[in-house]
Structure formats: C-alpha cells, structure tokens
Structure 1
C-alpha cells in the first residue's frame, strides 16, 4: 500500500476546491486576454491546463485545492513530480480518457475507490500517487 495514500473523497474535495478557487479568476483572466467573456473559453482552458500542469511542479506536488486538503502528488520514490511526470499524468492520461470517451475515467474512479494503493489510471501511467502530506 502507498504510504498515506489519499482516497476518493479527499481527492474529490481537492478537485472541487481547485474548481471553485481557480475557475472564476481564470475566466476573468481569460476574458481580459481574449477581450470578452464570449471568446474566452480557449484561453481559459489553456490557463487551466497550465495551472494543473505547472503548479504541482513548482509547488512540490500541490495545487491550491490539494494544499488546503493536505494532499499532494508524489512520484513513487516520494519526490515531487517534474515536467515529464506531469506531462504523462495530464496529457497522456487525458488522451486515454478522451480516446475511450470517458470510460477510462470511470475505470480510474473505481481504481481509486477499490485499489489498496488508491492509484488511478493516470497515476499508473505517470508513476505517481496522491498522498497525505505530513
């Protein structure tokens, strides 16, 4: 079992906090960059992608939601993720979820619930785990 593996509910809480805390500022920033609310979806999606890709690299595996919940992304050796790890986790994992029309996302959710190590599909792809921070 992963040391201090974070389960489904706390991970869901962190994702919801990220959505609440980050979505509105990103939408406003996207509107400023794109010149209006009706044109900002691509900009907002790009900013959201960069947030989820880069913040865990620069902030030792945390996003804002994960920090509040006391959990973080970690490589299996305990070190924080780097760029290659986060690209595997977000891009390759996202492609797998998209190619399977979301079926892999459902499988991933079930994996977090039933696996002893609480690792999802994108965690397996990237060699990561989500753990409680000490």
Structure 2
C-alpha cells in the first residue's frame, strides 16, 4: 500500500516529517512553508520594530534570535528559518550568511537584485528569495512551535 503523501518513486520521509507536494520539500509535521503574505508582512514589520527598539535593540534582539533560527520580525509572526537539506532549524552561521551576505546581495548592491529576489520568492514553489538560496534555507510557519 502506498502513502498518498509521497510522490510515486520517492523514498519515505521518516517519522515526524511530511512531503510538501507544492514545494517538493520535506518538512516537519505541524510546520508549513510560510505564505507570501506572512513573509511580506515580516518584511514590513521589521521597520516599526527597528524604530520602537531604537535600532540597537533590534540588532541585539536579531543576534540572539539568529541563534534560534529566526529574526525579530519572523519571531513575532511565528516563523522560523529551516534547512530542509539538514532537516533542522538554521543555526547562527547560516542565519548570519542569510541575513548579512544575502541582505547585501539583495538590498545594497542594487534595486535590480532586490527585484530579482522578490520575483524569485513569488514565483518559486519553495518560496525562496535570494538570501534563502545563498544560505540553503526556507522560511516556515510554525504555529504549534514544533521546532522549539
């Protein structure tokens, strides 16, 4: 008997995981790929959070949150950065790569790379932006705090 959640010819994903057919990724049970709206909301939420925390508070909060695989805005909205190839939440190193190198490539280099990143995010089934591609991550919504 075959599992309807596993595409034909694919290997079983293991206990505690499911295959997300829309994105082609293996994700933990209870976790889903973050929606476009939720991700865009996090992007715009970061601006008032920076203002309220006087930027320096946001930077300190961000450094602490990176160790937990999230950022301040993602944390407020119940999202985490996940490494599907390793089946774990991103650690500080990939988060730094994603946010520093990815952020530089996305925003500082030019408006064109920012636009390319946004188009990638909107059109890819796994919803990866340029920083996600650089760090081999995806952003997931974790409403039940399965990822800790």
TM-score by length of 2: 0.64
**Structure 2 SS opposite 1:26:** coil
Match of 1:7 in 2: 35
- The higher-RCO structure (CA 8 Å, 6+ apart) is 1
Instruction: Give the alignment partner of residue 80 of structure 2, picking from 72, 84, 91.
Output: 72
**After alignment, is 60-69 or 105-114 more displaced?**
60-69
Corresponding residue of 1:32: none
- TM-aligned CA deviation for residue 52 of structure 1: 3.2
2:88 partner SS: coil
In structure 2, list runs of 5 or more residues that go unmatched: 1-22
Tell me, yes or no, if the aligned pair for 1:15 and 1:65 is still in contact at 8 Å. Answer: yes
Q: 1:119 to 1:53 in 2, by over 3 A?
A: farther
Whether 1:61 aligns to 2:89 is no
Match of 1:24 among 35, 52, 62: 52
Match of 1:130, SS state, is: strand
Paired with 1:12 and 1:83, the residues of 2 have a C-alpha distance of: 23
- From the two aligned structures, give the one with the greater strand fraction: 2
Give the drift of 1:117: 0.3
Confirm or deny: 8 A CA contact 1:56 1:62 kept in the other structure. yes
TM-score, with structure 1 as normaliser: 0.69
| Structure 1 residue ranges without an equivalent (≥5) | 28-43
User: Counterparts of 2:92 and 2:75 in 1: how far apart (Å)?
Assistant: 19
- In terms of fraction of residues, the more helix-rich structure is 1
Which structure: larger Rg? 2
Mark the CA change 1:114 to 1:129 in structure 2 (over 3 Å): closer, same or farther.
same
